[in-house]
Copies of this chain bind each other. A is one copy, B any other.
Amino acid sequence: MSKRLAGRTLGISPFYVMELLRRAKQLETQGKDVIHMEIGEPDFATPETIVEAGIRQLQTGEVKYTPAAGLPELREKIAEFYQQRYSVTVDKKRIFITPGASGAFLLALGASLNPSEELLMADPCYPCNSNFVKLFDGKARTVAVNADSRYQLTAALIERHWHEATKGALIASPSNPTGTIIAPDQLKQAIHTVNALGGCFYSDEIYHGLVYGEKASTALAFSDNVFVINSFSKYFGMTGWRVGWLIVPEEFVDATEKLAQNIFIATATHSQYAAIAAFDPITLAELELRRAEFNKRRDFLYDALLGLGFDIPIKPDGAFYIYANCAKFTDDSFQFAMDLLEAEGVAITPGKDFGLHEANRYVRFAYTTSIARMAIAMQRLERFISRG
């Protein structure tokens, strides 16, 4: 081990699913058919209206740096979006355009988290969360959550785990990997608890829009004193464009602006122009059709997995994931995923990519592929399971 490596890199885990992906590629090169149910991005192409807006910008040839906080028109659009969709007023100076939700995390934690401070987050959760914390030499304090709190942190859990070094709490709703939404009242209580403790509240709302029942509430509905992380990646179908946004509490505006100037200079210009078109009524209509399709896929996959004997304590409310308990079939979900890939060419994500809590008993299925393909995957899965 190199003595020159920064200490923080030791604590940062690679994604275990990468090992599966490498094997999947090999199998595909050998001509095997692999059904990808591990992928965390929509299979749909970016909506045409958005693509066209991006192309129009490129045709000018003037692809220069934008202001660090982002194009004023795009920040304005996002402010309007909060007004229309959530009836929430956000001062646009609090809105920063970032290279994806990833860039939003960088800014939010860079501006607020000191080395050795701790952040509370659910286990299971999105694997990068704890790694962002480690990037700034902070500590991720994961809290085991179960179906009884919809796999979400609660005010009570936050209070119980809060201690001197705790800087704040992070909630993602809908959650990756569980797809569960936190109830509005629970979210409100969690925010008020963190605020009362003098901490920072971070709300990852990247899967907003991709919900199949009740809408998800934005943290901004309950307080201005929150960091909201969002992105054009998932609902808007713009993963590869790398554009998202961050909303910060007023007192963080100046620090966030300085950080953005220094660490990004700006977000990709054409991606920002394209994102303006994401709020066009035509685009939104198209996205609603896609949402309806995801809804069907969720129902299909949920029923199919239950039928095969997987345990899914809560039917997911949103995102495009089902976190399924496979303890009936294995006590090592990573090996289960590897064997399934090898035997049947179905790729899924092992629980251990999302934490430690019962990780060996869970796998994540992503319904980012068609029902037709998933139907084949379910036949293969059935065959795999029945072989024991």
Contact = CB atoms under 8 A, between A and B. Distances in A.
Given A6-B114, A41-B64, A111-B5, A240 B262 contact: no
Contacts of A54: 58, 270
B63 A239 contact: yes
Contact of A65 (B41, B48, B65): B41
B258 A4 contact: no
Contacts of A262: 12, 102, 127-128, 131-132, 135
Interface stretch (A147-155, A212-220, A249-257, A298-306): A249-257
A111 to B, nearest CB: 6
Q: How many copies make up the complex?
A: 2
B135 A263 contact: yes
A70 interface: no
A265 interface: yes
Contacts of A386: none
Contacts of A63: 45-46, 51, 238-241
A282 interface: no
A257 B135 CA distance: 14
Interface string A58-83: 11111111100000000000000000
Contacts of A137: 115, 136-137
Interface in A107-122: 110-115
A84 interface: no
B59 A45 contact: no
Contact of A61 (B45, B103, B105, B199): B45
A14 B238 contact: no
A269 B240 contact: yes
Interface in A12-45: 12-15, 18, 41, 45
Interface centre among A46, A99, A271 (most CB of B within 10 A): A99
A138 B63 CA distance: 33
A124 interface: no
A55 interface: yes
A161 B167 CA distance: 36
A345 interface: no
Interface string A226-266: 00000000000011111000000001101101110111111
Contact of A45 (B62, B241, B264, B269): B62
Contacts of A60: 45
19 contacts: A4-B198, A5-B112, A5-B252, A6-B111, A8-B110, A9-B110, A14-B257, A41-B64, A46-B63, A63-B239, A66-B240, A100-B264, A102-B262, A102-B263, A127-B262, A131-B258, A135-B259, A241-B268, A241-B269
- Minimum-distance CB pairs A-B, first 8: A45-B61, A240-B269, A63-B240, A9-B255, A131-B262, A2-B251, A242-B268, A128-B262
Given A4-B252, A14-B257, A99-B99, 18 more contacts: A3-B198, A4-B112, A6-B136, A9-B255, A12-B255, A12-B259, A41-B64, A45-B63, A62-B240, A99-B264, A100-B264, A102-B262, A103-B264, A127-B262, A128-B262, A240-B266, A242-B242, A242-B264
